[in-house]
Amino acid sequence: MSLEIAIAEAAPAPRATVRYIGLALLSALVAFAVCVPLFWGVDIARQDYSAILAGTSSAHPLGTDHLGRDMLARLAAAVRLSLGLALVSVATAAVPGVLLGILAAWKGGWVDKGLGLMAEMFLALPGLLLVLLIVAIYPGSFLALYGAVALVLWIEYFRMTRALARTVLASPAVAASQLLGFGPAYIIRRHLLPELAPLLMTIAAFGAAAAIMAIAALGFVSVGVKPPTAELGLMITELLPYFAEAPAVIALPITVIFLIVLSLLLIAGGRKP
Q: What global pTM score does this model have?
A: 0.81
Is residue 70 classed as helix, strand or coil in its secondary structure? strand
Listing DSSP states for 68-113 in one string gives: --BHHHHHHHHHHHHHHHHHHHHHHHHHHHHHHHHHHHHH-HHHHH
Segment 82-86 shows an average pLDDT of 88
pLDDT at 23 over 70: yes
pLDDT at 42 over 90: no
With beta carbons less than 8 A apart as the criterion, state whether 46 and 69 touch: yes
Distance, in Å, from the CA atom of 27 to the CA atom of 16, rounded to the nearest integer, reads: 16
Total residues belonging to the chain: 273
pLDDT at 28 over 90: yes
- Which tens digits make up the pLDDT trace of 128-169? 777 777 777 777 677 777 788 888 888 888 888 888 888 888
**DSSP type of residue 40:** -
Fold of 16-42+51-269: MetI-like fold (1.10.3720)
- Which tens digits make up the pLDDT trace of 99-121? 898 888 888 888 888 888 888 88
Residue 70 backbone dihedrals phi, psi, to 5 degrees: -70, 125
pLDDT at 4 over 60: no
What is the domain partition of the chain in residue ranges?
A: 16-42+51-269
- Which tens digits make up the pLDDT trace of 244-272? 888 888 899 999 999 999 998 888 875 55
What was the pLDDT predicted at 257? 92
Mean pLDDT of the chain: 82
What was the pLDDT predicted at 259? 93
Please report the sign of the dihedral spanned by the C-alpha atoms of residue 229, residue 233, residue 237, residue 238: positive
Segment 12-19 shows an average pLDDT of 71
User: Given pLDDT bands bounded at 50, 70 and 90, which one contains residue 6?
Assistant: very low
Amino acid, res. 213: M
Distance, in Å, from the CA atom of 168 to the CA atom of 4, rounded to the nearest integer, reads: 37
Q: Spell out the alpha helix ranges (H) of 108-231.
A: 109-123, 127-137, 142-169, 172-179, 184-187, 193-220
| CA angle, 40 then 222 then 76, to 5° | 15
pLDDT at 273 over 60: no
| CA angle, 65 then 66 then 67, to 5° | 90
Neighbours of 194 (CB within 10 A): 10
**Radius of gyration of the chain from Cα atoms?**
23
User: Given pLDDT bands bounded at 50, 70 and 90, which one contains residue 5?
Assistant: very low
Helix 71-107 and helix 142-169, axial crossing angle in degrees, nearest 10 = 40
Distance, in Å, from the CA atom of 9 to the CA atom of 226, rounded to the nearest integer, reads: 52
Neighbours of 121 (CB within 10 A): 10
